[in-house]
Structure 1
Amino acid sequence: MTTARGDASLRPMKKAKAAPKPASAQKRRSRWISIPLKVAIGFVGLSVGTVVIYRFVPPPVTITMLLDPNGITKEWKRLDAIDPDMPRAAIAAEDSRFCSHHGFDAVAIAQAMRHNASGGRIRGGSTISQQTAKNVFLWQGGGFVRKGFEAWFTVLIEAIWGKRRIMEVYLNVAETGIGTYGVQAGSIRYFGHGAGKLSRAEAARLAAVLPLPKKREAIDPHGFTRRYGNSISARIPVVQRDGLDDCLN
């Protein structure tokens, strides 16, 4: 006689484990959406954090400096230690509405587009804020990708730094000669003294060099550079008289 213990037929049968279900298409789509979203959030956080730090700390180096085969000669100079004619010369030469726009000058951009369409020497419409954003955080050259990043960083520095800090950083990172960065190093290179002792003519010459520092010399300039420097020098008093540098005070 068999007992219940030995009768296998009386034992409850175990259910077979169900095979794992494949990930649904919806979950796969969610993963592909979350990855770029995380990258975007990380970029925003990193860029905002870096801009906040540079509000108080001088940028130690830029991509342009690192890629310069001629080396790096630079010396940070506070804005209040630079002769006031230097930022006035930069405003006169590069961005006459620097104190009134919010990073982008629609009038200058439209004028540059009309001028370039007519032929002749190519003219840019970038503001000092845009140039500072490019010089500090990005690379030289064109392209829509870089322009997009430039616009983003321009908005950030306008909101976080303010005009005075933007001008201070611009005058310290802009290329003023071969392997030379900032008006302090440029002033010592060309004139043998610091940027705190610049004359009006010297400040104008430095500003004339800024767009093409590898091709223009501030010492004994000739041709277009001389004429451009004289024009900037004549506009410096206008900048002061009309209060176009009031945001730096």
Structure 2
Amino acid sequence: MAARRKAKAPSRWRWLWSPVKWATVALLGYLLACTLLLVAYRWVDPPITTVQIQRYAEAAVAGEPFALQYAPVSEAEQDADARHAVVASEDARFYTHHGFDAVELRAAYEEARAGGGMRGASTLTQQLVKNLFLTTHRSWLRKGLELPLTVLAEWILPKDRILTLYLNSAEMGRGVFGLEAAARHHYGRSASELTRDQAARLAAILPAPLERRPQDMSRTSSRIQTRMRQMGW
């Protein structure tokens, strides 16, 4: 009788074990696919990103037209001031951390404890993997996936390549993705021809690219340029 009960015991958990097993397999498969793509992205640019797909889907659901402006360029074709402006404004310790900025995380935590609400503390690497493989929707699932993807990106990609990929994939207006497309859309010139002020203004819209416009970013642009000088740029 006891042996019969032992034999039946595993079947009680089969309904739970099967979904957990397949969810684990799906997660590992997803991470493996992302790993292979990151290896490829050391040398080639993504043909499309998940955030771009998200914007296509949102426009389709709303019944609105959507024109994608996306033109990835090499590091040499990205204005140096634009690269510096983005680091200065978005992730000042980009070249010294390993994907997560402990100083910013601690500051965000202390601010939240003081009742100031949660503010972003994502590094450029975290923002890159969100752009490439996730969506802009905030959820615990996205944050959970962001952690291993950030570790993988830092392990596979050199820092300068991470910055290049970020500047090629970042959303900078409705349907506008990447520095080259943004430079042409907002200023009618290529990414390599941006002035220092224009570069800082484009960096200033990154936290809210669908709401902000470069021409309205004079004060923020000035602060970014001051920070650039303080960092030796």
Q: Normalised by the size of structure 2, how large is the TM-score?
A: 0.83
Q: Which has the higher helix share?
A: 2
Counterpart CA distance in 2 for 1:35 and 1:227 is: 51
Counterpart CA distance in 1 for 2:177 and 2:31 is: 28
2:31–2:149 CA contact under 8 A, matched in 1:
no
Q: Could you report, residue by residue, the CA deviation over 1:73-129 in whole angstroms, capped at 9, with x for unpaired residues?
A: 111111111111111101110000000000000110111233344456853100001
- C-alpha change, 1:122 and 1:204, in structure 2 (3 Å) is farther
Q: Which residue of 2 aligns with 1:49?
A: 36
1:71–1:179 CA contact under 8 A, matched in 2:
yes
- C-alpha change, 1:191 and 1:116, in structure 2 (3 Å) is farther
Aligned pairs for 1:1-249 within 5 A = 24-25=7-8, 32=18, 35-68=22-55, 69=59, 70-118=66-114, 123-219=119-215, 221=216, 225-240=217-232
- C-alpha change, 1:75 and 1:40, in structure 2 (3 Å) is closer
* TM-align CA RMSD: 2.4
Larger Rg: 1
State the identity %.
35
- C-alpha change, 1:40 and 1:83, in structure 2 (3 Å) is closer
Counterpart CA distance in 2 for 1:212 and 1:101 is: 24
Structure 2 runs not aligned, ≥5 long: 1-6, 60-65
- C-alpha change, 1:40 and 1:218, in structure 2 (3 Å) is closer
Q: Secondary structure at the match of 2:229?
A: helix
1:88–1:240 CA contact under 8 A, matched in 2:
no
Structure 1 runs not aligned, ≥5 long: 1-23, 242-249
Deviation at 1:42, TM superposition (A): 2.4
- C-alpha change, 1:40 and 1:180, in structure 2 (3 Å) is closer
Counterpart CA distance in 1 for 2:24 and 2:112 is: 38
Counterpart CA distance in 1 for 2:127 and 2:80 is: 20
Counterpart CA distance in 1 for 2:50 and 2:74 is: 22
Q: Could you report, residue by residue, the CA deviation over 1:123-150 in whole angstroms, capped at 9, with x for unpaired residues?
A: 3100001000111110112111100111
Q: Secondary structure at the match of 2:172?
A: strand
